[in-house]
Chain A
């Protein structure tokens, strides 16, 4: 389908939540792309990653017509601007205020939720308890953003849904690690997760939750 301006490649790792955003967005907008796997379990980054993202050496990287776009939220905006304008599906709304709200909450997920969930997974005892409460608070805030809507910004799956849904692949992990049930703590968010998972784009990208938790247990040295 749509590949205006040259071949599209996405360099990513199957368990990278940030990269899942990019791959979901590309599928949502029907963009054919080549997937190149970078194994994050090895210490060194490949020559491709070092060449395409010399500043951060991180993934995901979108390569379009030979030119790299780095940073998951940046990639979402680029994908929307390049392929989302032709009368088909788009990720961000047109209204500037709604766009600002979507960007604000995406920044909240990156600034707050990501660091809290990492701290929660890595810590023990009182620190873990505190991080758990903070994480639940943040998820409840996102539930408030959802409100009565089908998706985070309205009736259509979009930018903010793509930003947050990859985290759901670790929800089972959070529950195991923290001894709580997200169905109890955040029921409407969980209904949103199920709605998102009905979409081909999300279904085909989100990894198995047990595999995600096993990998993160190794990464973070979680023993129990």
Chain B
């Protein structure tokens, strides 16, 4: 019998969601421990002393930190449909695009929604150039890996549940449907994927959260 799995997470965090998505897709039951990031718990600080961030996966006595590291761990430690491709070259491509999303595009995408004026225009231009690269990767496919949600899709999750929420709260449109039809279709597919239903964030809750924290996000973005 496998040890219990818990996820220390935070509302509104796409990184936390990626871990939940991986667990859902593998069919692993888990418990959520919701963290208030303004008042970090002893549990979080104990299990992620290096970064003090969510998400953290607790598997029995062991802690795993950093969302993509956790996703690969979940893929390797548990049975269930594979999240990563089997061929080494395809795996290298999956890691490449996940790294691209998380370390290059994500910040640009985020700032393009939360900033204003000339600054916003600059971020939007850069974000769009990078979004185009993803759009090309997706063309002709339902998901980045093919017919099922996999590693790259999970790494790109901020472009699914969060996209329309950010657009609604900030009034900014960056991922124009006419310019990125494949990405917008992928967004719909991700948001309606059966196996993800148990862990997809509640849209109203996300809207309420980002509306409530709008000034704070804008302040961080403009710093």
A interface with B by C-beta (< 8 Å): 55-56, 64, 67, 69-71, 74-75, 77-78, 81-82, 96-97, 99-100, 103-104, 107-108, 141
Contact = CB atoms under 8 A, between A and B. Distances in A.
A74 B69 CA distance: 13
Pick from B64, B69, B133 the residue with the most CB of A within 10 Å.
Answer: B69
A74 B92 contact: yes
B65 A104 contact: yes
A81 B76 CA distance: 14
B96 A71 contact: yes
A96 B50 contact: no
Interface string B62-106: 101110011011001100000000001101100110011000100
Contact of B66 (A71, A74, A77, A104): A104
B88 A78 contact: yes
Given A67-B89, A78-B88, A78-B89, A99 B64 contact: no
A108 B88 CA distance: 24
Contacts of A107: 66, 69
A-side interface mostly: helix
B-side interface mostly: helix
A222 B133 CA distance: 37
Interface of B: 50, 59, 62, 64-66, 69-70, 72-73, 76-77, 88-89, 91-92, 95-96, 99-100, 104, 133
Contacts of B133: 55
A99 B50 contact: no
Nearest to B57: A100
Contacts of A69: 89, 92, 96
Given A75-B92, A97-B73, 4 more contacts: A74-B92, A81-B91, A99-B76, A100-B64
24 contacts: A56-B104, A67-B89, A69-B89, A69-B96, A70-B96, A71-B96, A71-B99, A74-B92, A74-B96, A75-B92, A77-B92, A78-B92, A96-B73, A96-B76, A96-B77, A97-B64, A97-B77, A99-B76, A100-B64, A100-B69, A100-B73, A104-B65, A104-B69, A141-B50
